[in-house]
Amino acid sequence: MVITSKDNETIKKIKKLKDKKYRDEENCYIIEGIKLIKEAISEKAKIKLIIICDDCSQNDDFEAELKYEIAKYECIYVSEKVFSTLTSVVNPQGIMAIIEKEAEQKNINFNEDLFLILDNIQDPGNMGTILRTADSLDFKQIIISKDCTDIYNPKVVRSTMGAILRINIIESDDLEKTLKELKRHKIKIVTTYLHTDKTIYDISYKRTAIIIGNEANGVRKEVLDMADEKIKIPMPGKTESLNASVATAVVLYEALRENLK
């Protein structure tokens, strides 16, 4: 059976998942595209439903192995017209899935040597790219302040390229309290800050938490005041600042290089 009406009750529920309020209520979010579906299957994510466009020409791109795997899950087929009302992608591949959020893990693993903390990151593209970068460096957890953009925003999910399925993202209700807890475990707090003479090359990153701040305002003052070190990325050119996700990548890769010595 192919669903051809956008007023179908199941279709209405899927559409609602575009809104954070409903994602929170249902404890679910949407992933879309062949790569993310394959990642979800590989990572054994809790796939509640797979939605397939029945008459989309892109269906010819599905590998036989993928067709075999998705057949193990509950699937529905919809017309191209209906699928177009569900997708958030300009050129959709004709497949999406509803994923149940993992049970929230509030506890920080203090045995790690390097921590990443995001303070009020607002742009979904930045958030997704930061998660993808952290995943490339094998981060198992990231701490975010409660006022960061929703990590299950469709644009964030797409930008992570599957990283969201692998990283434990811990939302801190009180970032200052979380930093105090890190300090009690002998973890150094480092923030990015433009108005300092110390650069990313001047410190040790052993047992360190790196804080990346808001795109427009940087790290908030209350958090800056708790920092053990403030660092900046040297920029000899005329540009005065970098995109938050680019800055994160530069700092994290320097931390990795230093820790691999």
Residue ranges of alpha helices (H) inside the chain are: 9-16, 20-26, 34-42, 64-70, 80-86, 124-136, 154-160, 175-184, 221-224, 244-259
Confidence class for position 1, pLDDT limits 50, 70, 90: confident
Per the CB < 8 A criterion, the answer to whether 94 and 83 are in contact is yes
Write down the domain spans for the chain: 2-100, 114-259
pLDDT of residue 261: 67
pLDDT tens string 9-52: 999 999 999 999 999 999 999 999 999 999 999 999 999 999 99
* CATH, domain range 114-259: 3.40.1280.10
Q: Are strands 46-53 and 95-100 parallel, antiparallel or unpaired?
A: antiparallel
Per the CB < 8 A criterion, the answer to whether 135 and 163 are in contact is yes
* CATH, domain range 2-100: 3.30.1330.30
Q: What tokens appear for 241 in the block? A: 């600042």
pLDDT of residue 255: 94
Q: What tokens appear for 234 in the block? A: 């040297």
Contacts of residue 55, defined as CB under 8 A and 6 or more positions apart, other chains included, come to 2, 79, 80
Average pLDDT in the chain: 92
pLDDT tens string 187-215: 999 999 988 999 999 999 999 999 999 99
User: What's the whole-model pTM score?
Assistant: 0.89
Phi/psi at 231 (nearest 5 deg)?
Answer: -130, 160
* Residue 236 C-alpha from the chain's centroid: 31
pLDDT of residue 66: 84
Q: What tokens appear for 127 in the block? A: 């958030």
Confidence class for position 57, pLDDT limits 50, 70, 90: low
